[in-house]
């Protein structure tokens, strides 16, 4: 850049008076502003136009963040002077300065206008640095305008100029010192900006890749490096890596404060607000947002002001303060409209629609959501559009406009499917591109090898020895090439397998997530139905049937996912399969009666013992029978018959329904295959699952069908144990987690703890992270128990150690500390090891159950669970524990091995007994001494002993002493007084009283009974 020329006096005045220019208030400056006297005087001392342009540029930089409107005026002056004086480099700098000022103000259109003008002029005069500034600024302007494709295009130009363009940064940089030093920094800026755009589009992996590239190019203390830290923190927040998000955001804010950069400090504060909102720290979130808002208001940046107002509104929305949420989102909407920020408008309108809807103001809600739907096609955020359709569907449903609600739901599903399919298509395209590139390279190598062979064939006159050597080398080369192609194909197949694993994991996780809301549907409905007939009984039964059907579909999805991942194992046992099928199909008699269908059962009465997995066989034939009844009209027939032949057992399910055309039979067992897609019947999961379960049994399933006549499915199972490996068998039969249990007819249910004072009722601690499920379980248990609740394992452990409950009901999957770790911690702690634990989980697998039981859990329930089943299991465990306490309290011998307790409880009791026995004759030994020796508080000691022995600490000590006294009295020649004093009693009458209460007779009578007289 050309250096400005000032007189010495002018330069000194500039240094002294320039500070005062910070005090100019932009709101008091009219459009045709007069230059302040101090600045006018400095300008008068400038000897050249370049010096005057430089002074205006310096003032632009000084006041931009505090007084952006004044910075616009100074930049326009600098442009005017540089253009008239034919100073193109200074003109480029002034143009990009003005673009940046508009960018700070959130004015994308004007920012783009001046940035691009600077880029074109810089490119024309080979001022590469200016060109990079111009094209980078243009990308930022396009980002403000939500045109992400153009933003990426501009930033990519900046990458090219900073890495590929061989020209120096400055036209007069002949030794390239500036070029070599600054080009890496400019390249880092470009990478950082590209990462920001990808982050805006939720392409987090690409965003992180470019931000990390930028960090490698920056020195410490660089402004853009700090901005990159903010961006990386935002990505980690989006990915729910909250610890890393906090780390990057706080680091960025500290450095921004040190650099006195208001923009980055505000961005970091906004990010800290988002993190605290995610953590539920709403006051801290509001303080951070207000700090960011003050900075952005000082910068007059309407876009960022709108975003912060929306975030504040979201905090109030999370706290169900919907009026406050509306107030702040209205402010955000006004600022977004002022800045022509369509994305910001969409966020505010969607939030307003949701808030009004929750306040039952459906007219205002619809107005906001319709405005959102009108504007949303102009943005590229498919996730936001999807959420808009979802909100609109709920609104239509609440206002009983079911056709419109259905259409909105279909739009929601379509957009959601496109999001997932687009991401998968991108991954596959990237993988295919890598594979095709490697394939072409290997084909070129192979072609070269073939050409070499042809050349060798043309030179046959060469000696046989040389030809042989060359042939061997070529053969080795071809072998290497073929092997390389094999490796490439193997890698491609591996990538495809990884994609399949991702898909399987997705289906597994989403299916598990369905089980928690199903608990909140099936449980309360069953409870209402159990209360007796009511006007809503038929409606509730319909809800219950459909929820059970949904649970069945979830289980089928889980089974398919486990089959894909090879996680499903056989659990074979040898049993009478005919008897099993008879029991299985009995409930279908009611369905046949209801649908007026003749149900014929032609199963052999003889006992046929073969290996089979009851759970999987049940799923197969339940599915086949349900389909048979579904597609058979009233008056038709459904027949199930079995046959036994050497080596195989066959079962046929036949119906006289509408039949299946020959065209559909080859694909009948394909997943998600529907015979008539227009009817919308079925999911295409059941038959596919049935086929795969039978093949897992090393069997097969066939189908025969004619349209208008009916369909027959035949299942063939091997009967020989040698058809399976030994690991397929189980030593004991485990009931399937998916088998429904009817507790309405359970006999001899344990009696509830009635007739007790409220203070004596057992205490149950419920540990569950889902608010609705936690409340539901509490409502079930509070009828018979004191109920305490905790939101996760950490909180549950703290409450358990504090209150020592009689039983714990805990979810398996929770934040901070999951159910397995929580169970393990309780069972390892001497104070809580005796507490029975019931684990609840959405993971309906035998492996999950076994893992839970290994940690010490006493029982296990799968969501959704029956409320009566929960009550029976809880009651049984508490009753059993009370029986153990009674047994311990009345047992003469205190050997722990005689009582069924856990190892930590055994250690605790052994230690307690040993301490008392060491002080058996010490009259001064008190409960306080006992408590200190055990290293626990008096309250914890009391609760632990009560739970294990139904005795207080003093009663426990007295019992040990009395038992030792009884042993002494059995010794010939010892009198009652000696036995009393030796065991710590100094009052003979009190000793006699206690001894009689313990053993039902006086000490002397006990001695006479146990020691025969000499006569």
| Whether the bond into 864 is cis, omega within 30 of 0 | yes
Q: Token pair 């004086």 is at which residue?
A: 85
Task: Quote the CA–CA distance of 672 and 679 in Å, as a whole number.
Answer: 14
The least confident of 8-17, 497-506, 609-618, 684-693 is 8-17
> Does 567 have pLDDT greater than 60?
no
Task: Name every residue whose Cβ is closer than 8 Å to that of residue 413 and which is 6 or more positions away in sequence.
Answer: none
Task: Quote the CA–CA distance of 568 and 147 in Å, as a whole number.
Answer: 48
Higher pLDDT, 590 or 308: 308
User: Can you tell me whether residue 125 is helix, strand or coil?
Assistant: coil
Task: Quote the CA–CA distance of 994 and 991 in Å, as a whole number.
Answer: 5
Question: What would the mean pLDDT of 924-941 be, rounded to a whole number?
Answer: 79
Task: Quote the CA–CA distance of 230 and 207 in Å, as a whole number.
Answer: 12
| Nearest C-alpha neighbor of 776 from the set 527, 511, 512 | 527
The least confident of 163-167, 534-538, 643-647 is 534-538
Query: In this structure, are strands 648-655 and 710-718 parallel, antiparallel, or unpaired?
Result: antiparallel
Q: What is the pLDDT, as a whole number, of residue 428?
A: 42
The least confident of 392-401, 450-459, 800-809 is 450-459
DSSP conformation letters of 337-392: HHTT-HHHHHHHHHHHHHHHHHTT-HHHHHHHHHHHHHHGGGS--HHHHHHHHHHH
User: What are residue 715's DSSP bridge partners?
Assistant: 651, 701
Q: What is the pLDDT, as a whole number, of residue 673?
A: 60
Question: What would the mean pLDDT of 812-831 be, rounded to a whole number?
Answer: 84
Q: What is the pLDDT, as a whole number, of residue 900?
A: 44
User: Can you tell me whether residue 572 is helix, strand or coil?
Assistant: strand
pLDDT band with cut points at 50, 70 and 90 for residue 30: very low
| Nearest C-alpha neighbor of 734 from the set 844, 621, 824, 812 | 844
Task: Name every residue whose Cβ is closer than 8 Å to that of residue 67 and which is 6 or more positions away in sequence.
Answer: 24, 25, 26
The least confident of 166-170, 618-622, 696-700 is 166-170
pLDDT band with cut points at 50, 70 and 90 for residue 679: very low
> Does 639 have pLDDT greater than 90?
yes
pLDDT digits (tens, 9 = 90+) for 310-348: 889 888 988 889 899 999 999 989 988 888 888 888 888
115 to 156, 316, 340: CA distances (angstroms): 16, 39, 19
**Dihedral of CA 490/495/500/505: which sign?**
positive
Q: What is the pLDDT, as a whole number, of residue 998?
A: 82
Q: What is the pLDDT, as a whole number, of residue 710?
A: 92
The full 3-state SS of 204-220, as one line of letters, equals HHHHHHHHHHHHHHCCC
Query: In this structure, are strands 609-612 and 807-811 parallel, antiparallel, or unpaired?
Result: unpaired
Q: What is the pLDDT, as a whole number, of residue 767?
A: 94
Question: What would the mean pLDDT of 200-211 be, rounded to a whole number?
Answer: 79
pLDDT digits (tens, 9 = 90+) for 741-782: 444 444 444 455 544 555 668 899 999 988 778 888 888 888
Task: Quote the CA–CA distance of 345 and 339 in Å, as a whole number.
Answer: 10
Question: What would the mean pLDDT of 932-942 be, rounded to a whole number?
Answer: 77
Q: What is the pLDDT, as a whole number, of residue 199?
A: 76
Higher pLDDT, 2 or 826: 826
pTM recorded for the entire structure: 0.36
Q: What is the pLDDT, as a whole number, of residue 796?
A: 92
> Does 309 have pLDDT greater than 80?
yes
C-alpha of 508 from chain center: 13
> Does 607 have pLDDT greater than 90?
no
Q: What is the pLDDT, as a whole number, of residue 893?
A: 45
Specify the DSSP element, H or E, that contains 598: strand 598-602
Most confident of 112-121, 204-213, 260-269, 689-698: 112-121
Q: What is the pLDDT, as a whole number, of residue 849?
A: 58
In 596-685, where does DSSP find H-type helix?
614-630
474 to 43, 469, 480, 714: CA distances (angstroms): 80, 9, 10, 57
945 to 663, 788, 908, 957: CA distances (angstroms): 74, 21, 10, 11
pLDDT digits (tens, 9 = 90+) for 850-902: 665 666 788 888 777 777 888 888 988 888 777 666 655 554 344 433 444 55
In the DSSP assignment, the letter for residue 4 is P
C-alpha of 327 from chain center: 31
Q: Token pair 């894909």 is at which residue?
A: 564
Q: Please count the other Cβ atoms lying within 10 Å of the Cβ belonging to residue 181.
A: 10
Q: Token pair 């329904």 is at which residue?
A: 657
| Nearest C-alpha neighbor of 96 from the set 81, 113, 82, 83 | 113
Task: Quote the CA–CA distance of 976 and 700 in Å, as a whole number.
Answer: 82
Most confident of 329-333, 436-440, 506-510: 329-333
Residue 209's Cβ-count burial label (10 Å; 0-12, 13-18, 19+) is middle
**Dihedral of CA 902/908/914/920: which sign?**
negative
Task: Quote the CA–CA distance of 852 and 843 in Å, as a whole number.
Answer: 11
pLDDT digits (tens, 9 = 90+) for 79-133: 888 888 888 888 888 898 888 888 888 888 898 999 999 899 988 888 888 888 8
Q: What is the pLDDT, as a whole number, of residue 326?
A: 92
Q: Token pair 């780390």 is at which residue?
A: 247
> Does 26 have pLDDT greater than 50?
no
Contact 522, 469 (CB under 8 A): no
Question: What would the mean pLDDT of 396-406 be, rounded to a whole number?
Answer: 84
Task: Quote the CA–CA distance of 857 and 625 in Å, as a whole number.
Answer: 37
Q: What is the pLDDT, as a whole number, of residue 544?
A: 62
Compute the mean pLDDT over every residue in the chain, rounded to the nearest whole number. Answer: 76
> Does 470 have pLDDT greater than 70?
no
Residue 235, φ and ψ in degrees, nearest 5: -65, -45
Task: Quote the CA–CA distance of 538 and 893 in Å, as a whole number.
Answer: 59
Task: Quote the CA–CA distance of 124 and 101 in Å, as a whole number.
Answer: 24
The encoded tokens of residue 262 equal: 């208001």
Q: Token pair 């930022």 is at which residue?
A: 140
Task: Quote the CA–CA distance of 650 and 719 in Å, as a whole number.
Answer: 10
> Does 411 have pLDDT greater than 90?
no
Specify the DSSP element, H or E, that contains 506: helix 464-530
In the DSSP assignment, the letter for residue 340 is T
pLDDT digits (tens, 9 = 90+) for 36-55: 556 666 676 667 777 877 78
Higher pLDDT, 835 or 192: 835
User: What are residue 700's DSSP bridge partners?
Assistant: 716
Q: Token pair 């399949």 is at which residue?
A: 500
pLDDT band with cut points at 50, 70 and 90 for residue 528: low
How many CA atoms within 13 Å lie on the side-chain side of 561?
Answer: 21
At CB < 8 A and 24+ separation, what contacts does 373-382 make?
Answer: 375/342, 375/345, 375/346, 375/349, 376/346, 378/146, 378/342, 379/146, 379/342, 379/343, 379/346, 380/146, 380/148, 380/201, 381/201, 381/202, 381/343, 381/346, 382/415, 382/418, 382/419, 382/422
**At how many degrees (to 10) do helices 148-163 and 128-144 cross?**
160
> Does 668 have pLDDT greater than 50?
yes
In 399-463, where does DSSP find H-type helix?
402-458
pLDDT band with cut points at 50, 70 and 90 for residue 637: very high
Q: What is the pLDDT, as a whole number, of residue 434?
A: 45
């Amino acid at each position: 850049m050309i250096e400005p020329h000032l007189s010495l006096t002018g330069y000194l005045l500039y240094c002294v008076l320039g500070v005062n220019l910070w005090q100019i208030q932009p709101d008091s400056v009219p459009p045709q502003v007069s230059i302040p006297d101090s600045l006018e005087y400095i300008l008068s001392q400038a000897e050249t136009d370049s010096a005057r342009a430089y002074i205006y540029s310096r003032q632009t930089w000084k006041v931009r963040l505090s007084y952006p409107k004044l910075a616009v005026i100074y930049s326009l002056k600098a442009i005017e002077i540089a253009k008239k004086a034919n100073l193109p480099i200074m003109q480029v700098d002034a143009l990009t300065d003005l673009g940046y000022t508009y960018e700070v103000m959130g004015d994308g259109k004007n920012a783009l206008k001046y940035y691009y003008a600077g880029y074109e002029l810089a490119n024309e005069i080979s001022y590469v640095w200016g060109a990079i500034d111009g094209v980078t600024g243009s990308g930022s302007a396009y980002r403000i305008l939500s045109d992400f494709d153009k933003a990426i295009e501009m930033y990519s130009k900046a990458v090219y100029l900073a890495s590929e363009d061989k020209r120096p940064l400055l036209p007069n940089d002949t030794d390239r010192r500036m070029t070599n030093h600054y080009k890496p920094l400019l390249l880092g800026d470009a990478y950082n900006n590209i990462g920001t755009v990808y982050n805006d589009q939720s392409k987090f992996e690409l965003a992180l890749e470019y931000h990390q590239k930028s960090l490698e190019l920056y020195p410490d203390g660089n402004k853009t490096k700090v901005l990159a830290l903010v961006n990386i923190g935002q990505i980690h927040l989006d990915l729910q890596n909250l610890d890393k998000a906090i780390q990057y955001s706080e680091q960025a804010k500290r450095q921004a404060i040190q650099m006195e950069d208001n923009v980055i400090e505000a961005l970091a504060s906004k990010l800290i607000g988002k993190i605290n909102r995610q953590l539920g720290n709403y006051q801290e979130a509001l303080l951070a947002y207000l700090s960011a808002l003050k900075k952005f208001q000082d910068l007059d940046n309407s876009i960022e002001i709108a975003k912060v107002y929306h975030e504040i509104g979201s905090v109030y929305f999370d706290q169900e303060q919907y009026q406050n949420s509306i107030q702040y989102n209205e402010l955000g909407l006004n600022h977004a409209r002022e800045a022509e920020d369509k994305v910001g408008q969409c966020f505010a309108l969607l939030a307003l629609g949701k808030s009004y809807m929750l306040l039952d103001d459906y007219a205002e809600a619809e107005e906001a959501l319709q405005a959102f739907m009108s504007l949303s096609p102009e943005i590229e955020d498919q996730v936001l559009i999807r959420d808009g359709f979802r909100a609109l569907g709920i609104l239509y449903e609440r206002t009983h406009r079911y056709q419109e609600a259905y259409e909105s739901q279909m739009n929601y599903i379509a957009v959601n499917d496109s999001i997932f399919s687009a991401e998968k298509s991108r991954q596959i395209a990237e993988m295919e591109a890598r594979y095709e590139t490697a394939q072409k390279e290997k084909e070129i190598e192979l072609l070269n090898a073939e050409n070499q062979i042809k050349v060798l064939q043309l030179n046959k006159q060469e000696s046989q020895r040389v030809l042989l050597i060359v042939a061997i080398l070529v053969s080795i080369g071809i072998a290497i090439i073929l092997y390389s192609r094999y490796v490439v194909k193997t890698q491609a197949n591996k990538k495809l397998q990884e994609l399949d694993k991702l898909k399987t994991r997705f289906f597994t996780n989403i299916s598990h997530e369905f089980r928690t809301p199903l608990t909140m549907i099936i449980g309360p409905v069953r409870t209402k139905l159990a209360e007796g007939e009511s006007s809503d009984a038929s409606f509730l039964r319909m809800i219950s049937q459909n929820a059970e059907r949904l649970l069945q579909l979830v289980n089928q999805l889980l089974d398919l996912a486990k089959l894909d991942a090879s996680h499903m194992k056989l659990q074979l046992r040898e049993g009478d399969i005919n008897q099993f099928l008879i029991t299985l199909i009995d409930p279908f008699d009611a369905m046949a009666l209801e649908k007026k269908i003749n149900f014929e059962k032609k199963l052999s009465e003889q006992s046929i013992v073969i290996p089979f997995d009851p759970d999987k066989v049940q799923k197969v034939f339940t599915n086949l029978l349900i389909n048979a009844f579904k597609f058979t009209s009233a008056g038709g027939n459904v027949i199930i018959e079995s046959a036994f032949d050497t080596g195989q057992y066959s079962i046929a399910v036949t119906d006289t329904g509408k039949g299946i055309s020959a065209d559909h039979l080859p694909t009948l067992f394909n997943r998600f295959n529907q015979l008539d897609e227009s009817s919308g019947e079925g999911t295409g999961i059941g038959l596919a699952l049935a086929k795969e379960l039978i093949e897992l049994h090393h069997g097969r399933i066939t189908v025969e069908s004619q349209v208008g006549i009916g369909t027959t499915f035949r299942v063939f199972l091997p009967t020989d144990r040698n058809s399976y490996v030994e690991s397929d068998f189980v030593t004991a039969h485990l009931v399937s987690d998916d088998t429904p249990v009817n507790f309405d007819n359970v006999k001899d249910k344990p009696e509830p703890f009635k007739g007790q004072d409220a203070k004596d009722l057992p205490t149950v601690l419920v540990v569950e992270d889902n608010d609705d499920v936690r409340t539901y379980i509490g409502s079930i248990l509070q009828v018979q128990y004191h109920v305490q609740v905790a939101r996760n394992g950490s909180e549950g452990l703290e409450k358990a150690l504090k209150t020592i409950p009689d039983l714990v009901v805990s979810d398996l999957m929770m934040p901070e500390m999951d159910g397995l770790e929580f169970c393990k911690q309780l069972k390892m702690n001497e104070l809580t090891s005796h507490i029975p634990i019931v684990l609840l989980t959405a993971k309906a697998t035998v492996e999950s159950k076994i893992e839970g039981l290994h940690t010490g859990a006493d029982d296990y329930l799968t969501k959704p669970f029956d409320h009566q089943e929960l009550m029976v299991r809880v009651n049984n465990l508490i009753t059993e524990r009370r029986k153990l306490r009674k047994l311990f309290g009345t047992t003469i011998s205190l050997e722990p091995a005689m009582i069924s307790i856990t190892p930590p409880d055994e250690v605790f009791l052994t230690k307690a007994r040993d301490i008392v026995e060491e002080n058996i004759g010490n009259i001064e030994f008190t409960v306080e001494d006992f408590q200190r020796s055990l290293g626990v508080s008096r309250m914890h000691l009391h609760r632990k002993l009560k739970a294990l022995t139904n005795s207080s600490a003093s009663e426990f000590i007295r019992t040990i002493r009395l038992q030792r006294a009884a042993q002494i009295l059995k010794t010939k020649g010892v009198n009652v007084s000696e036995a009393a004093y030796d065991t710590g009693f100094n009052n003979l009458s009190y000793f006699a009283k206690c001894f009689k209460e313990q053993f039902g007779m006086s000490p002397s009578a006990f001695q006479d009974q146990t020691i025969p007289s000499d006569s």
